[in-house]
Amino acid sequence: MKQVTHSRKFFMPSSLQNHHSMQLPAKADALIKWRSMDDVKNTLSSDKFKADSPYLILGEGSNVVFLNDFPGTVILNQLKGCEVIEKTNDHVILDVAAGQSWHELVMRCNEWTYSGIENLALIPGTVGAAPVQNIGAYGTEFSNVCESVSVISCQTGEVSVLSNAECEFGYRSSCFKQDKWKDYVIVSVRLRLRCQNHQWNLSYEPLKKALLAYRSDQLTGDLISQAVIAIRQSRLPDPKALPNAGSFFKNPVISDERLAELLKEDSSLPHYPQPNGEKLSAAYLIQACGLKGQSDNGVGTFSKHALVVVHHGDADGQVFWHFIQKIRQSVQKRFGMSLELEVRCYDQGNLVSPSCATDWYFA
């Protein structure tokens, strides 16, 4: 009896529509949930899993778009738990299971007065996905607090621990986006947070402005998170009300020379210095192309934020992709710049290259 249930889990095609926040119609051959490390081990040792390919680990699907059916197994990571590993007057190290909600963790840390992730409030998704794109907002990145990341190999079942340096964090990137680590699943992360001598980061103008009424000794993690939440709610659509996957493209980084040329045409172009050049706002570029709030056949950009692609309902992957290409082509034509995908798009089980270098889909 038990075996029959198990094999049904692997064979039943399941809708993915409610498992990615863009909510395009798509199915997986099978959908399974990992709620404990026993579930993980059972899956990895199952002959059916070993024989099947491909497979994909998913948190809340807030940075993933399924453009069509996924021919394989989708695993929902629902591993829970949070443990204090070390605590001094100065700092705390937390070990957090990968399936915990990131935002809930931020709010808990505020309650416990552990600081370091308060600027990252209201980012949807799981703790286990945070290292993958090194989530960031308002001048803080996951890498700023990451002590280590534990992964399990889906080939051997072996668990390894990667230090912060080994994760090779960069701007919205990490080693977990590299091919070498594609068969590893993050099972937990360790965070190093401050218990005192808090170092609030108000480098982003809207956040600084929202907290102007407070002296620095009056600030708390909770106050900062509440300000971040208010700003985000005023600008970003709630994916449950209007399907979206946050910022669809990365902010491009260009050379100083190229920036100088662009500033001659538009002196108000926002730009921010980076170690490898100047970062532009992709939202500004898309807006300048007249695409803010535009939509075609149920896919568009959000009326208050041009970088957020929204699905008004009833679109499919092909219509969706058409709109993505329209944005990319408009920015290319106007600014001579190729926008890279930040969101991870899957076409028949394959990750679409962020540079969209192929003629995929309309070839």
Whose Cβ is closer to ligand FAD: residue 178's or residue 255's? 178
Euclidean distance between CA atoms 18 and 45, whole angstroms: 28
Alpha helices in the chain (DSSP H): 2-11, 37-45, 47-51, 102-111, 205-210, 221-235, 256-265, 282-288, 317-335
Residue 172 falls in the annotated catalytic set: yes
Residue 363: what residue type? A
Summarize as ranges the residues that interact with ligand FAD (CB under 6 A): 21, 56-64, 77, 98, 123-126, 128-130, 132-133, 135-137, 176, 185-186, 236, 239, 244-246, 344
Euclidean distance between CA atoms 166 and 193, whole angstroms: 19
Residue 353: what residue type? S
334-353 residues near ligand NAP, rule: CB under 6 A: 342
Cβ atoms of 99 and 87 within 8 Å: the answer is no
Stretch that binds ligand NAP, among 81-89, 216-224, 245-253, 260-268 (CB under 6 A): 245-253
Whose Cβ is closer to ligand FAD: residue 123's or residue 280's? 123
Euclidean distance between CA atoms 36 and 51, whole angstroms: 22
Residue 291: what residue type? L
Residue 86 falls in the annotated catalytic set: no
User: 127: buried, middle or exposed (CB in 10 Å: 19+, 13-18, 0-12)?
Assistant: buried
Question: Considering 62, 172, 190, 330, which one is annotated as catalytic?
Answer: 172
CA-based angle 6:25:62, to the nearest 5? Answer: 80
Distance of closest approach, residue 34 Cβ to ligand FAD, in angstroms: 9
Whose Cβ is closer to ligand FAD: residue 295's or residue 332's? 295
Residue choice 68, 115, 144, 251 for contact with ligand NAP (CB under 6 A): 251
**Phi then psi for 65, rounded to 5 degrees?**
-125, 125
Distance of closest approach, residue 3 Cβ to ligand FAD, in angstroms: 27
Whose Cβ is closer to ligand FAD: residue 127's or residue 211's? 127
Question: Considering 247, 278, 330, 344, which one is annotated as catalytic?
Answer: 247
Residue 247 falls in the annotated catalytic set: yes
Euclidean distance between CA atoms 350 and 359, whole angstroms: 14
Q: Which two tokens stand for residue 263?
A: 């500033």
Residue 128 binding: pick among ligand FAD, ligand NAP, none (C-beta 5-8 Å cut-off by kind):
ligand FAD
Whose Cβ is closer to ligand NAP: residue 125's or residue 317's? 125
202-241 residues near ligand NAP, rule: CB under 6 A: 203-204, 206, 235-236
**Which residues are part of the catalytic machinery?**
172, 247, 342
Q: Which residues bind ligand NAP (CB under 6 A)?
A: 136-138, 203-204, 206, 235-236, 246-247, 251, 272, 279, 281, 283, 342
